Structure 1
Amino acid sequence: MHIAEGFLPPAHAIAWGVASAPFVVHGVRSLTREVKEHPESTLLLGASGAFTFVLSALKIPSVTGSCSHPTGTGLGAILFRPPIMTVLGTITLLFQALLLAHGGLTTLGANVFSMAIVGPWAGYAVYRLLKRYDVPLMVAVFFGAFVADLSTYCVTSVQLALAFPDPSSGFLGALGKFGGIFAVTQIPLAVSEGLLTVLVMRLLVQSSKGELTRLGVLLQRKQADATSGAAASAEPTGPAEPTESAELGKSAETTKPTEKQTGASA
């Protein structure tokens, strides 16, 4: 969910805005550098932003009476790294607050922190960890998108629990209530978003293989061969067995008479 306009106390709204600002500034620099150095990536950047905008604009009623939605931030984080996805997510949230009354301006900092910062970083970390252990690409993409979605709602639950602690049980009690409403019911949507992200990535592999290779999502053939060759060379090998020619040379040396032996026989 997006925290609605005016829902957070002013101090909390300001604090989350201050916490999000450095990530957004860093993301703007990363995005500017990416566009300047690789202008051909603008089409894929636009597609990543549109994917996030469409998915996060969907309002799906949950079983607890609230509304949930996918986030769509996992795809952009995997393709362009989390800093750039922070900017795309911030633009998405700003347009939704102004045009769709989805979220708000006073709660923009809190929504950016959960959906455009924590979500992309958490999803990308899981994706990179799985790729490090040679997990297939599509499996890593699924879990990256799944974690990016679910972690957003976990952070939103923390934000609401901090702003509205339970009168009797305090922060932990409120966290249990908000987490049960938002985080637990988000699991089916997170699974659906992971599957949809895999489908989109399959299409990109077919249509934009060169761009994905430049971004590091796909390995070049030489890199793949070098990786497999390094793994093969790392395997322990036993002592080398003598070749047939070496054995023949050794036997010839032992049977050839020396000059001293020839002279003695003469």
Structure 2
Amino acid sequence: MHIAEGFLPVSHCVGWAVASAPFVVQGVRATVRQVREHPENRVLLAAAGAFTFILSALKMPSVTGSSSHPTGTGAGAILFRPPVMAFLGTVVLVFQALLLAHGGLTTLGANVFSMAIAGPWVGYAAYVVLRRLRTPLEVQVFVAMALADLATYVVTSGQLALAYPDPTFGAAFAKFATIFALTQIPLAVIEGLVGVVLFRVLRSIAGPELAGLGIMPHPAQPAEAEGGVRA
């Protein structure tokens, strides 16, 4: 969810902006380093940003009266790690706020924290664990992208509960989480499946780039090396 303009108290807007800023700065540095050291990945980097923009712009009415959408951040987190997605996600959210009135500028820090920071880190953590367990790539991608999606909505529910603790934070969190869950859980499953299809396509058209990023083994390496985790 993108929290709408003016929906959070000023103090919360400032607090979430301050909390998000270090991650975004780190993301800018990570993105610049990625482009400088691996210029062959620029097209894939742009595609990761475009994928996030398109999926997170698909605003769908919720059966509970709100709205939901996929996030797409899990794919970029797998490909380039979460710091890069903190920057790409921020760019996506700025453009969506300005061009689509999707989210807001005053609430940008909160939206960045939930969608561009928390989601990618949770998804990437799941991806790393599953790689260490040597599960198939499709399982890694599905779980990582689904959890990145769900984590965004869990954090958003917490942000709204902090702003409107009626009557308590716990009760408000349960209310907001329930509003989103009925629609978001199936959306997260769908996003995971879309991610599996995406990475199968990438494996066929961008195999060398995926090998360079550590997603797949190099052709000269044994297939079981795919289960390892890149540094």
What TM-score range do you get, normalising by the shorter chain?
over 0.9
Q: What is aligned with 1:102?
A: 102
**Alpha-carbon offset, residue 40 of structure 1:** 1.3
* 2:217/2:223 contact within 8 Å kept: no
Residues 212 and 159 of structure 1: CA distance in aligned 2, closer, same or farther (over 3 Å): same
**C-alpha separation in 2, matches of 1:204 and 1:24:** 27
The runs of at least 4 aligned residues of structure 1 exceeding 6 Å deviation read none
**C-alpha separation in 2, matches of 1:225 and 1:77:** 23
Q: What is aligned with 1:163?
A: 163
Q: What is aligned with 1:78?
A: 78
**Alpha-carbon offset, residue 185 of structure 1:** 2.7
Find the residue that maps to 1:195 and give its secondary structure.
Answer: helix
Q: What is aligned with 1:124?
A: 124
Residues 164 and 223 of structure 1: CA distance in aligned 2, closer, same or farther (over 3 Å): same
Identify the match of residue 173 of structure 2 among 175, 179, 201: 175
**C-alpha separation in 2, matches of 1:211 and 1:184:** 37
**Alpha-carbon offset, residue 76 of structure 1:** 0.5
CA deviation vs aligned residue, 1:189-213 (integer Å, no higher than 9, x gap): 0000000111011000000000000
| Corresponding pairs, count | 226
Find the residue that maps to 2:103 and give its secondary structure.
Answer: coil
**Alpha-carbon offset, residue 175 of structure 1:** 0.6
Find the residue that maps to 1:22 and give its secondary structure.
Answer: helix
RMSD, aligned α-carbons: 1.3
Q: What is aligned with 1:42?
A: 42
Find the residue that maps to 1:101 and give its secondary structure.
Answer: coil
* 1:149/1:190 contact within 8 Å kept: yes
Confirm or deny that 1:6 pairs with 2:29: no
Percent identity (aligned): 64
The TM-score, its normalising length taken from structure 1, stands at 0.83
**C-alpha separation in 2, matches of 1:50 and 1:225:** 30
Find the residue that maps to 1:139 and give its secondary structure.
Answer: helix
Find the residue that maps to 1:3 and give its secondary structure.
Answer: coil
Q: Which one-letter code corresponds to 1:20 in the other structure?
A: S
Q: What is aligned with 2:196?
A: 198
Unaligned runs of 5+ residues in structure 1 are: 229-266
Q: Which has the higher contact order (CA 8 A, sep 6+)?
A: 2
Confirm or deny that 1:59 pairs with 2:32: no
**C-alpha separation in 2, matches of 1:171 and 1:159:** 10
Find the residue that maps to 1:217 and give its secondary structure.
Answer: coil
Q: Which one-letter code corresponds to 2:139 in the other structure?
A: V
Unaligned runs of 5+ residues in structure 2 are: 227-231
* 1:161/1:174 contact within 8 Å kept: yes
**C-alpha separation in 1, matches of 2:75 and 2:46:** 12
Q: What is aligned with 1:212?
A: 210
Q: What is aligned with 1:186?
A: 184
**C-alpha separation in 1, matches of 2:223 and 2:111:** 43
CA deviation vs aligned residue, 1:41-99 (integer Å, no higher than 9, x gap): 11001111000000000111111011100000010000000000111100000000011
* 2:63/2:182 contact within 8 Å kept: no
**Alpha-carbon offset, residue 182 of structure 1:** 1.5
**Alpha-carbon offset, residue 188 of structure 1:** 0.3
